[in-house]
Amino acid sequence: MAKMSRIKKEKHIVTIMVKLYCQKKEGNTELCPSCQALLDYAYSRLEHCPFGENKTSCEKCPIHCYKPAMREKMREVMRFSGPRMLLYHPIAAIRHLLNR
């Protein structure tokens, strides 16, 4: 099995978290426009990360590239989705915790 790039892993985790938030917290069956915009923004930030494959987790990064409003929204999503990932996506959650 080929090793997945750091950016791809981050995109995968953020996708799981945003979808989980939108479905379980907001009650949507598909991503709402607000959550889709957040996911698109996160993808854009990951694709343009100056550290590339050598990036750390965003919370440890010396450069905060998220706009304050988007950063707060992503924090809210992660606070809600993080613990629930253990129930809905346990393998991804454990891998994410080990790769921080």
Interval 1-60: pLDDT, tens? 457 788 998 999 999 999 999 999 999 999 999 999 999 999 999 999 888 888 877 777
Q: Single out the residue of 79, 87, 78 nearest to residue 13, CA to CA.
A: 78
**Number of domains the chain contains:** 1
Residue 20 is assigned to a structural domain of this protein: yes
**Domain presence at residue 1:** no
Note down the domain range covering 77: 6-98
First-to-last CA distance in the chain? 21
pTM above 0.85, yes or no: yes
